[in-house]
């Protein structure tokens, strides 16, 4: 994603706060070189200065089968709005769309939880 320097944010605390406030993310992975996506709530934690995302996919969702093989992308989106050229002082401005998004990359690890049954 192209990010002009004027809009780039690298403060981890601000990025983590945004991800926590907008935790319903789109998780994108490659399966047979084809992008696949799931929409999942993610819990955002920081451990030893490493941002960790924890979520759940149904066992029937084949996306989890490519985890641990390659990098995935979690996209967190926030408010967005159309910006009309009439709002600018310069007459020759173009319309745009204003939005906030955080892209988080990493290799997902599978965590299997076993339940105790009596």
Rounded to an integer, what distance in angstroms lies between the CA atom of residue 113 and that of residue 118?
A: 16
Per the CB < 8 A criterion, the answer to whether 63 and 108 are in contact is no
Using only the alpha carbons of the chain, give its radius of gyration: 18
pLDDT (tens digit per residue) in 52-68: 999 999 999 999 999 99
Span 97-108, mean pLDDT? 94
pTM to 2 decimal places: 0.86
Report yes or no on 63 lying in a domain.
Answer: yes
Angle at 57 between CA 51 and CA 61, to 5 degrees: 135
Structural domain total, the chain: 1
Token readout for 15 is 């990025």
Domain-located, residue 92: yes
pLDDT reported for residue 116: 67
Residue 16 belongs to domain spanning = 5-106
Helix/strand/coil percentages in the chain, nearest 5: 20, 40, 40
Residue 30 maps to a domain: yes
pLDDT at 115 exceeding the cut of 80: no
Is residue 17 in a domain?
yes
Residue 116, in any domain of the structure: no
- CATH number assigned to the domain comprising residue 34: 2.30.110.10
């Amino acid at each position: 994603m192209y990010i002009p320097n004027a809009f780039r944010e690298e403060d981890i605390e601000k990025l983590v706060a945004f991800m926590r406030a907008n935790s319903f993310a789109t998780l994108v992975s490659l399966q047979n070189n084809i992008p696949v996506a799931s929409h999942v709530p993610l819990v955002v934690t920081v451990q030893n200065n490493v941002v960790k995302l924890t979520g759940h996919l149904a066992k029937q969702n084949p996306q989890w089968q490519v985890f641990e093989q390659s990098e995935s992308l979690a996209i967190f989106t926030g408010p967005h709005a159309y910006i009309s050229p009439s709002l600018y002082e310069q007459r020759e401005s173009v319309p745009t769309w204003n939005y906030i998004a955080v892209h988080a990359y990493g290799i997902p690890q599978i965590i299997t939880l076993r339940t105790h049954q009596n």
